[in-house]
């Protein structure tokens, strides 16, 4: 009997923690009447997207660099876009392409870049619109609910202290709370020696 009561108490605690986490995640999502027309309740709200973008801008400003930021919803539609003065078209486009890669894979775009570095063929031809370059991260609430992607483009990387990906990661940490650690960089596989002998 005591064991049964103990299990019931533990289950109640887990349920309360789960409900609290869901309530915490709700602050980042569209709620109320706005969800009725959309028929969707797992969409990042504009206020949160703007905070993330502005946190990334602040990080870039500290580094003395300029960035472009694209935040997409789970269906690939833009929630919030921002480009700092002086950003070229390619910087804006790469922010979008990186975010779309994360949207397609539900992983950091660096996972695709690492796949290419390992010699994988799945991303070499930019299949399904994937752009295998680091700089985009998934935006997740409640531990496992994908609500969007942030892509950052436009700044030259200075690993391990700065990159577009680090800008996005720092911004998400500031606004959404502790994020998973960034993936390690994989060095490109050495090219195979040419076949054949001399002569």
pTM score of the predicted model: 0.80
CA dihedral (159, 161, 167, 171) in degrees, to 10, reads: 140
Sign (positive/negative) of CA torsion 67, 72, 77, 82? negative
Tell me the per-residue pLDDT of 117-154, one tens digit each, with 9 for 90 and over.
888 766 555 667 789 999 999 999 988 899 999 999 99
| Nearest in space to 53 (alpha carbons), one of 89, 78, 27 | 78
Average pLDDT score, the chain: 83
Alpha helices in the chain (DSSP H): 2-26, 34-38, 46-63, 89-105, 109-117, 164-176
Say if residue 5's pLDDT is above 50.
Answer: no
Position 125 scores a pLDDT of 54
pLDDT above 90: percentage of residues in the chain:
59
Q: Edge to edge, what strands does the sheet with 78-83 contain?
A: 78-83, 68-72, 145-153, 136-141
Q: How far apart are CA 168 and CA 150, in angstroms?
A: 7
- Structure-block tokens of residue 184: 């390690």
| Nearest in space to 123 (alpha carbons), one of 108, 113, 134 | 113
Position 3 scores a pLDDT of 46
Contacts of 107 (CB under 8 A, 6+ apart): 138
Question: For residue 4, what are the CA distances in angstroms to 16, 59, 73, 195?
Answer: 18, 51, 44, 70
Position 33 scores a pLDDT of 82
Say if residue 17's pLDDT is above 90.
Answer: no
- Structure-block tokens of residue 33: 């009447």
Tell me the per-residue pLDDT of 152-182, one tens digit each, with 9 for 90 and over.
999 999 989 999 999 999 999 999 999 999 9
Please report the DSSP string for 184-198 in residue order. Answer: PPPPPPPPPPPPS--
Mean pLDDT, range 38-60, rounded to an integer: 92
Q: Quick check: helix, strand or coil at residue 144?
A: coil
């Amino acid at each position: 009997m005591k064991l049964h009561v103990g299990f019931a108490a533990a289950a109640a605690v887990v349920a309360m923690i789960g409900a609290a986490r869901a309530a915490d995640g709700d602050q980042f999502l569209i709620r109320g009447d706005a969800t009725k027309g959309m028929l969707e309740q797992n969409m990042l709200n504009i206020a949160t997207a703007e905070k993330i973008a502005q946190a990334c801008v602040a990080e870039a400003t500290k580094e003395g660099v300029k960035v472009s930021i694209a935040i997409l919803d789970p269906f690939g539609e833009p929630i919030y876009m921002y480009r700092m003065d002086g950003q070229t078209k390619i910087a804006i486009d790469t922010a979008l392409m990186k975010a779309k890669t994360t949207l397609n894979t539900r992983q950091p775009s660096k996972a695709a870049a690492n796949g290419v570095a390992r010699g994988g063929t799945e991303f070499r031809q930019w299949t399904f619109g994937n752009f295998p370059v680091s700089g985009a991260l998934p935006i997740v609430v409640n531990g496992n609910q994908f609500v969007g992607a942030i892509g950052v483009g436009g700044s030259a990387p200075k690993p391990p202290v700065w990159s577009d990906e680090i800008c996005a990661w720092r911004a998400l940490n500031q606004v959404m709370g502790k994020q998973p650690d960034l993936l390690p960089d994989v060095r490109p596989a050495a090219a195979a020696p040419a076949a054949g002998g001399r002569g």
